[in-house]
């Protein structure tokens, strides 16, 4: 509400604030930097963190309630990237940011803020900082430039959604967490739009906050336009190729399933899409059933492939009603498990749909593949907004065990030698020997960007 009256701009009063805690200890260096040049500096810092000697031109004050309404009293606000920066900009103050991390620096610059590094704060005051005043009032923060106005930014923040660990939140095993609810899980990655944490109870990596909370639409465009944008052709155009890799998965299932050779085992494919896996399993003598929430895909399976399929959400789906079958020899989910924001009921239902000794098989992106290991920030930036969990081969066993499954086999898939830095740097061709060596190394070290899990219902 309170804004500076706009007139000729001169700096005399400077506010330095890095939040109540100031974990990066930037308040004192930043206050000294401007005080040294003769400006009158007010610095927000709790008493216990202040230097014992008084400093010339610096007045320390305690954290201020409703700070945003007092910002207008200052000519210049020095802070880090965050809401205060936008509020100060909106209040008509000049803003200079100090970078607490490389991510903060990137974010500050992308909104056009003038940014000082910690190193610069240790040097004598640089008067050229104030030579181009327009840099202290980045227009993209206050008014719409490239759709990045303050209003849009705040609106986006308001649309953000928080998520708990999908495995633990409804598993009845969150007692450990309830003991100390104030202590959040460790952050493994933070991108402009999302935060990822590792659950300290079950070990899975999950999306704990996302700016985009609209429910994903798995309608026709998910498999046509959207799919084509990502892979260059539609799902149906890709059908035979996908089916080929499904054939290998059926062989894996055959080798792990202990069934009498005369039986015709039954498999339920959850998230069957247009049915490439059902088709491959049918070719190899399985009795196949599919479910998906995409109507167009299910009607293709029913009317073109002629397999039993239902359009139903999981885990609400009722197998006895839909297929007259209570339990299957195998249940499969190919690139589906990461889409559930609530996994405990899903895994419990999968178990109930399996005969004892039956197999549950799924595939998912790997949090331990070459992309996740060697280009971690990019991996999390690229993780789709509707992926709630990121599984890691080394931690999957412990999680599945909670639901009565024992891993029989994991297969590392999606090998991309071209994603290794050395291969990238040399530009080795796919047919070259070094490329092939990296491809082999990726297989041996299980560095694929995706993986498959085959586990048995033991309990």
Would you tell me which residues interact with Zn ion (CB under 5 A)? Answer: 165, 167-168, 199, 201-202
Residue 315: cis peptide before it, omega within 30 degrees of 0: yes
Give the closest residue to 328 by CA, choosing from 356, 308, 305, 302. Answer: 356
Give the closest residue to 42 by CA, choosing from 76, 65, 68, 8. Answer: 76
Q: In whole angstroms, what separates CA 317 from the centre of its chain? A: 28
Q: Which is nearer to Zn ion, 108 or 208 (CB)?
A: 208
Q: Which two tokens stand for residue 329?
A: 């020899």
Q: In this structure, which long-range contacts are made by residues 52-55, counting pairs with CB atoms below 8 Å and at least 24 apart in sequence?
A: 55/31
Q: How far is the CB of 173 from Zn ion (least distance, A)?
A: 8
Instruction: Give 42's contacts (C-beta < 8 A, 6+ positions apart).
Output: 13, 14, 15, 16, 58, 59, 60, 61, 74
Give the closest residue to 162 by CA, choosing from 180, 184, 183. Answer: 184
Q: Which is nearer to Zn ion, 98 or 204 (CB)?
A: 204
Q: How far is the CB of 204 from Zn ion (least distance, A)?
A: 5
Q: Is 356 exposed, middle or buried, given 0-12, 13-18 or 19+ CB atoms closer than 10 A? A: exposed
Q: Which is nearer to Zn ion, 201 or 327 (CB)?
A: 201
Q: Which two tokens stand for residue 71?
A: 């910002």
Q: Which is nearer to Zn ion, 170 or 201 (CB)?
A: 201
Q: How far is the CB of 393 from Zn ion (least distance, A)?
A: 17
Q: Which is nearer to Zn ion, 31 or 399 (CB)?
A: 399
Closest residue to Zn ion, Cβ-based? 199
CA angle 383, 300, 314 (to 5 degrees): 50
Q: Which is nearer to Zn ion, 163 or 451 (CB)?
A: 163
Q: How far is the CB of 335 from Zn ion (least distance, A)?
A: 21
Computed from CA positions of residues 437, 442, 443, 444, in that sequence, does the dihedral angle turn out positive or negative? positive
Q: Which is nearer to Zn ion, 92 or 203 (CB)?
A: 203
- Mark out the alpha helices in 56-206 (DSSP H runs): 83-90, 102-110, 118-122, 139-142, 150-158, 175-179
Q: Which is nearer to Zn ion, 235 or 362 (CB)?
A: 362
Cα gap 224→385, rounded to integer Å: 19
Q: Which is nearer to Zn ion, 194 or 198 (CB)?
A: 198
Q: How far is the CB of 392 from Zn ion (least distance, A)?
A: 13
Cα gap 89→81, rounded to integer Å: 12
Q: How far is the CB of 203 from Zn ion (least distance, A)?
A: 7
Q: How far is the CB of 168 from Zn ion (least distance, A)?
A: 3
Cα gap 13→57, rounded to integer Å: 10
71 within 8 A of 2, measured Cβ to Cβ: yes
Q: How far is the CB of 394 from Zn ion (least distance, A)?
A: 16
From residue 404, alpha-carbon distances to 12, 252, 269, 361 in Å are: 67, 21, 20, 14
Q: How far is the CB of 202 from Zn ion (least distance, A)?
A: 3
Q: How far is the CB of 399 from Zn ion (least distance, A)?
A: 8
Q: Which is nearer to Zn ion, 174 or 371 (CB)?
A: 174
């Amino acid at each position: 509400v309170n804004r500076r009256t706009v007139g000729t701009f001169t700096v005399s009063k400077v506010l330095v604030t890095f939040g109540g805690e100031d974990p990066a200890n930037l308040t004192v260096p930043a206050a000294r930097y401007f005080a040294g040049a003769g400006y009158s500096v007010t610095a927000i810092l709790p008493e216990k963190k202040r230097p014992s000697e008084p400093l010339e031109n610096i007045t320390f004050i305690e954290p201020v309630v409703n700070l945003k309404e007092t910002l207008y009293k200052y000519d210049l606000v020095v802070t880090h990237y965050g809401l205060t920066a936008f509020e100060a900009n909106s209040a008509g103050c000049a803003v200079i940011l100090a970078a607490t991390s490389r991510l903060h620096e990137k974010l500050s610059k992308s909104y056009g803020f003038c940014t000082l590094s910690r190193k610069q704060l240790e040097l004598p005051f640089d008067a050229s900082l104030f030579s181009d005043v327009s840099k202290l009032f980045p227009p993209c923060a206050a008014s719409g430039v490239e759709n990045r106005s303050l209003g849009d930014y705040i609106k986006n923040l308001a649309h953000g959604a928080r998520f708990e660990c999908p495995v633990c939140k409804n598993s009845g095993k969150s007692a450990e967490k309830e003991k100390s609810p104030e202590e959040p899980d460790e952050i493994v990655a933070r991108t402009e739009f999302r935060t990822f944490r590792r659950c300290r109870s079950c070990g899975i990596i999950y999306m704990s906050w996302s700016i985009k909370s609209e429910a994903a639409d798995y309608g026709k465009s998910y498999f046509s336009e959207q799919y084509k944008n990502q892979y260059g052709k539609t799902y149906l155009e890709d059908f035979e190729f996908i089916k080929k890799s499904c054939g290998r998965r059926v062989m894996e299932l055959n080798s792990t399933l202990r069934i009498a050779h005369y039986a015709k085992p039954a498999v339920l494919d959850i998230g069957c899409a247009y049915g490439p896996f059902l088709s491959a399993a049918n070719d190899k003598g399985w009795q196949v059933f599919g479910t998906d929430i995409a109507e167009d895909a299910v009607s293709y399976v029913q009317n073109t492939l002629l397999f039993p399929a239902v359009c139903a959400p999981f885990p609400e789906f009722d197998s006895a009603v839909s297929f007259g079958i209570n339990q299957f020899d195998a249940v499969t989910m190919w690139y589906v498990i990461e889409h559930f924001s609530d996994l405990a009921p899903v895994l419990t239902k999968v178990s109930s749909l399996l005969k004892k000794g039956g197999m549950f098989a799924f595939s998912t992106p790997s949090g331990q593949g070459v992309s996740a290991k060697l280009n971690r920030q990019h991996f999390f930036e690229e993780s789709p907004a509707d992926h709630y969990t990121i599984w890691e081969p080394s931690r999957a066993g412990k999680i599945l065990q909670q639901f009565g499954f024992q891993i029989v086999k994991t297969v590392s898939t999606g090998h991309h030698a071209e994603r290794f830095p050395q291969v990238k740097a040399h530009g080795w061709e796919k047919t070259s020997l070094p490329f092939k060596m990296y491809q082999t190394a990726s297989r041996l070290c299980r560095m694929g960007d995706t993986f498959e899990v085959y586990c048995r219902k033991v309990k």
